[in-house]
Amino acid sequence: MSAGVAKTGGAGATLASERTSRRARVSEAVSRCVAEKTHGDTITRAELEAWLAVTYPSHGTKAEFDRANMLFAALKVDFDAALLEEHRMAVESERGGRWRIVHPSEQAALATTTARDAFRRGLAKAQAIASNVDVTQLNDADRARLDDTSARLAAIQMFARKNMGRRLGGGEGAK
């Protein structure tokens, strides 16, 4: 079937089949990666698609291609986690559908960058949620709570701007 996923009878059987297949695909991909690559090497999208046994339909609907892309993305997340947990190899995204296996001496800096980016994205989303409220639907207590939340988010942003670089330095000796 499309996206390299075999279908079986019944919804529960399909889910179990995909889950088992996902686990097996990721395990196989990690084994092949460790056998062929080492720290500092680059993994291309084509290699990863082959290792994960993700196939795209030669002809199909947008939905079929989207399904294949979603499957690849889900398998990629599992692959990254398994490679890190089982073999202590972190993967960093590069341009052009490639990923680099980070050298152990660079993993602390990657961890710092990852934390900083996640914090900034989360704070930006929280501020967008708090600033886009239909206040006509709120009572006085809810408005006060919203104002308090907005003030707290602004304070967190100012604190982070001032201290984040210092506290999450380059990963070496940060407190």
* pLDDT tens across the length of the chain (175 residues): 444 444 334 444 444 455 558 899 999 999 999 999 999 999 999 999 999 998 888 888 999 999 999 999 999 999 999 999 999 999 999 999 999 999 999 999 999 999 989 999 999 999 999 999 999 999 999 999 999 999 999 999 888 888 776 666 654 444 4
Model pLDDT, residue 74: 95
Angle formed at CA 8 by CA 54 and CA 49, multiple of 5 degrees:
5
Question: Are 68 and 2 within 8 A, CB to CB?
Answer: yes
Model pLDDT, residue 55: 85
Contacts of 88 (CB under 8 A, 6+ apart): 104
Dist. CA 175–CA 169, nearest whole Å: 9
Greatest extent of the chain over all pairs of C-alpha atoms, in Å: 63
Question: Are 90 and 110 within 8 A, CB to CB?
Answer: yes
Model pLDDT, residue 59: 86
Strand order in the sheet with 42-44: 42-44, 98-101, 91-94
Q: What are the structure tokens assigned to 112, written together?
A: 């710092």
Q: What is the dihedral of CA 73, 13, 55, 97, to 10 degrees?
A: 10
Question: Which one-letter amino acid corresponds to residue 118?
Answer: A
Q: What's the pTM value of the predicted model, to 2 decimals?
A: 0.71
Model pLDDT, residue 169: 60
